[in-house]
Chains A and B, each alone.
Chain A
Amino acid sequence: MLSTAAELFSSFFQVGLFGFGGGFALIPLMRTVVLGHHWLTPSQFLAAIAIGQATPGPVAISATFVGFRVAGLVGAFAATVGIFAPSVILTAALMAAYRYVRHYPAFHTVLRAVLAAVVGLIAGVTWKLGVEAITGFVPAAIALAVVVGGWRLRVNYGLLVAFGALAGLLALRP
């Protein structure tokens, strides 16, 4: 139990440490760690991301779901602390150096390359998860509606996932 908790902590710490580019950038890294350890099946991982998105807070909170599934509350705590700890430590480092970093162009050159990688990574993981989630016309229509709502109309993400759950409840019950 404790060794599982330690494994959850260190794995999610690693995810948090390399998750440049905001919350969604964590998804491809999380997927590798979670499926690599056989902590969840691919469809359970999809559920973990969906629940992370449907609840308040950043999508990184999906780590809590994974930890809970693997090792109960202790696991949930270990995974959550693990994924957010690098944020706290590195934000502290950033603020300690804030006045120097602020307008230092080298950081922005590196960050520009990282952002390009992140766009490719998120697109890639969307492809992988999409193959599992888009199983027919109705899921495709839901995804399309959300793309239009989220990108063009800037509808609140919470409302969009609520719409998806409701549409699924009505139209995708087995």
Chain B
Amino acid sequence: MTEPAGGRAVGLGSFVMTCLRIGIVGFGGGYAVLELIRSEMVRTHRWVAADEFDDLLAAVQLVPGPTTVNLLGALGQQLAGWGGLLLGTVAVVAPSFVIVAAVAAVYLQYAQAPSVVGAMAGLAAAVIGLMLAVTVDLAHDVRRDILHGLIVAGAFVVVAFTSIDPIFVIIAAIAVGGIQVALHRG
């Protein structure tokens, strides 16, 4: 079955199956999965053009939550309507849900076993490394000025050294952005 690039009429079933496959093989999140989605949507199926894909990827940054899930939801809406958004999201999350619930059941049973403790300690250290890598990567996109530098530093201090709910930091940042917009208008 071939579809023209940028075509709208993608079958709901084939879109959902593609999401399901991404959900099963998409280990680790982040760039790897974004690349996987790009190759499925743009190259393999040719459901969207590359620039259209990039526009959607930029737009979903406006929405909270995992970028990959939101991107597939947005693609689903564009390609297969509102059903595509809802079922695409369910399809990409469902495999992880089943796997994590199963792993949780087994892990909680054997959490004290020395091999499990060791592997988990290594895994935790690796996750810290990943989080550092993600922080450095994201920091590249932060505007280099005093205001944004202060926001970064303030948010770090709040989480690292206080027990203030990080949600307030997000709300404060939205307020700062809103004030900037208002000042430029006025």
- Which residues of A pack against B, CB within 8 Å? 14, 16-29, 32, 46-47, 49-62, 64-65, 68-69, 73, 76-77, 80, 83-84, 86-88, 90-92, 94-95, 98, 101-102, 106-107, 109-130, 132-135, 138-140, 142-147, 149-151, 154, 156-161, 163-174
Whether B85 pairs with A91 at a CB distance below 8 angstroms is yes
- Bound together, the chains give a CA A165 to CA B92 distance in angstroms of 25
B85 to chain A, nearest CB (A): 6
Whether B85 pairs with A51 at a CB distance below 8 angstroms is no
Whether B73 pairs with A133 at a CB distance below 8 angstroms is no
Question: Could you list some 10 contacts between A and B, CB below 8 A?
Answer: A46-B124, A55-B100, A102-B59, A116-B143, A156-B27, A160-B130, A167-B125, A168-B121, A170-B118, A172-B119
* B 130-165 contacts with A by CB, 8 A: 130-139, 141-143, 147-149, 151-160, 163, 165
- Bound together, the chains give a CA A64 to CA B134 distance in angstroms of 22
B30 at the interface (CB under 8 A from A): yes
B95 to chain A, nearest CB (A): 6
Whether A112 pairs with B177 at a CB distance below 8 angstroms is yes
Whether A65 pairs with B100 at a CB distance below 8 angstroms is yes
Residues of B within 8 Å of A16, CB to CB, are: 64-65
State the majority secondary structure of interface residues on B: helix
Whether B152 pairs with A143 at a CB distance below 8 angstroms is no
Contact A123/B135 with A52-B100, A147-B129, A173-B118 known, Cβ cut-off 8 Å: yes
- Bound together, the chains give a CA A17 to CA B70 distance in angstroms of 13
- Bound together, the chains give a CA A21 to CA B160 distance in angstroms of 19
- Bound together, the chains give a CA A128 to CA B156 distance in angstroms of 10
B9 at the interface (CB under 8 A from A): no
Smallest CB-CB separation from A30: which chain B residue?
B166
Contact A133/B105 with A60-B66, A112-B177, A124-B157 known, Cβ cut-off 8 Å: no
- Bound together, the chains give a CA A24 to CA B28 distance in angstroms of 11
B26 to chain A, nearest CB (A): 5
Most buried by A among B28, B139, B165: B28
Stretch in B10-18, B40-48, B167-175 touching the partner: B167-175
- Bound together, the chains give a CA A161 to CA B30 distance in angstroms of 13
- Bound together, the chains give a CA A114 to CA B63 distance in angstroms of 11
- Bound together, the chains give a CA A59 to CA B167 distance in angstroms of 18
Smallest CB-CB separation from B184: which chain A residue?
A109
Whether A146 pairs with B126 at a CB distance below 8 angstroms is yes
- Bound together, the chains give a CA A53 to CA B103 distance in angstroms of 12
Whether A160 pairs with B169 at a CB distance below 8 angstroms is no
Smallest CB-CB separation from A53: which chain B residue?
B127
With beta carbons under 8 angstroms apart, the residue of A47, A80, A94, A112 that contacts B120 is A47
With beta carbons under 8 angstroms apart, the residue of B136, B141, B167 that contacts A29 is B167
Contact A50/B160 with A23-B29, A56-B99, A160-B129 known, Cβ cut-off 8 Å: no
